[in-house]
A and B are shown apart, each in its own frame.
Chain A
Amino acid sequence: MELDFSPVWKGWPQLLEGALITIEITSISLLLGCFLGLLVGIGRLNPARRFIYVVCTAYVAAIRGTPLLVQLFILFFGLPHFGLLLPAFLCGVLGLGVYSGAYVSEIVRGAIQSIDKGQMEAARSIGLSSSQAMLEVILPQAVLRMIPPLGNEFIALIKNSALVSLLTIHDLMHEGQKIISISYRSLEVYLAIALIYFVLTGITTLALRKLEQHLKAGGMVQ
């Protein structure tokens, strides 16, 4: 069998446009995921605040226990049954963000719980309220510990975003499939798509490594 990459060269601008959509959609979902993850992660710290704890725990269980694809389809194909027709892009962002939030919340919770309890005690003993202590003392330290696992989560999110091509969003995967449907060169195009995803995740990995080194150099991380 002979490989013919000419459809890839010809479709290059189209693939790059798709990659931009992929970057856009993962970045927005990432922000949403971090925001949700922070709230839910903190919400799960204290079982004594029963209602918040139960809601947050149920969210994490439901999201982690079901496939992302099913969640996306429920948003995209299911919600219109209730008269709620969301644009595909919004469905993609919501689906990925809500999915990612569940995992980020576990990262947040783990990082906060890994901070020595003496830190909270010291903060409280000078008179800070529990939210002041969380904001000024615990979170700044916990955030640093979140960076490596968050890096993994970001990378997973970039790759998972390929699923939104099934919601008619013109992301990298979708654009590739369009090229395949005209050229029938599936292997070549999929290889090209894989390479672009690899570059995106690679850049993310490098950026996070730099960030960590920078923080270590500043004495922020031991």
Chain B
Amino acid sequence: MTNTTATNAAIIRIRGLRKSFGEHLVLNGIDFEVMPKQVVVVIGPSGSGKSTLLRCCNGLEKAEGGRLDICGLTLVNDGLMLPDADLNALREEVGMVFQSFNLFPHLSVRDNITLGPRKLRGLSHAQAQIEADVLLKKVGLTDKANAMPASLSGGQKQRVAIARALAMKPRVMLFDEPTSALDPELVGEVLQVMKLLASEGMTMMVVTHEMGFAKEVADVVVVMDDGAIIESGPPETIFSRPSQERTRHFLQAVLTKA
């Protein structure tokens, strides 16, 4: 899975990104890149700005400073956002999976998945359904196509949410703590789907506390603290020989808890 073709243009390029909520500086000059087919896992203590960074990547948060290019478009540059119409088109290429699933509760599982393709990719009902059923098979929920979200377990909901994002045929997938709201016994089924995606060459940026996943799947682990990247590198290096004291502290705290 390790990406060696570093000559490819980065699919996400972030330069000096800054973002604050009121007085509180959440992102303080972030620089990094994600290459096509790379899996980048972002870790760090809560409040370090991981989720905000991820949400900046599809314009759910607006960064006030710095520049963010994604999928060949400049999403934000010095506080200037991409116009709304272009932003909508861009979001079709950038899938997002949320911690709290955010399935549409009034739509069946299948309709959750087909809504985007029908409204945005111009697919007919029938075409969209065929695609949805392929995706449901991929995430192992063929039998739940007609179920309403309220009847699903957390793990099932999150797998539907992944299928919904994939239905737009994105070039990048962003995962915002996808397993943090799950009961421990349901985490595995979601991680398994994510591993499958990674093995198929999906470009992924994942904010998570699942260190096992990071070790096993990540090409690059990015450690954030206090709105900045304190170090990044291959998982072997980060987990066994971190260069920063803060990384060591954080890993110790997380791993002893686990």
Q: Which A residues are within 8 Å of any B CB, using their own CB?
A: 116, 118-119, 121-130, 132, 136-137, 140-141, 144, 219-220, 222
Contacts and interface: CB of A to CB of B under 8 A. Distances in A.
Interface in B65-94: 84-85, 88-92, 94
A183 to B, nearest CB: 54
B151 interface: yes
A126 B92 contact: yes
Contacts of A219: 148, 150-151
Interface string B16-59: 00000000000000000000000000000000000000000010
A8 B130 CA distance: 66
Interface of B: 58, 60, 84-85, 88-92, 94-96, 98, 100, 102-106, 115-116, 119-120, 148, 150-151, 161, 164-165, 167-168
Contacts of B96: 121-122, 125
Contact of B120 (A119, A128, A137, A140): A128
Contacts of A137: 104, 115
Contact of B165 (A118, A126, A220): A126
A119 B104 contact: yes
- The DSSP consensus for interface residues of chain A is helix
A13 B116 CA distance: 56
B91 A126 contact: yes
Contact of A119 (B102, B116, B151): B102
B84 A129 contact: yes
B148 A125 contact: no
Contact of A118 (B85, B89, B100): B100
Given A127-B120, A128-B88, A222 B105 contact: yes
Contacts of A123: 104
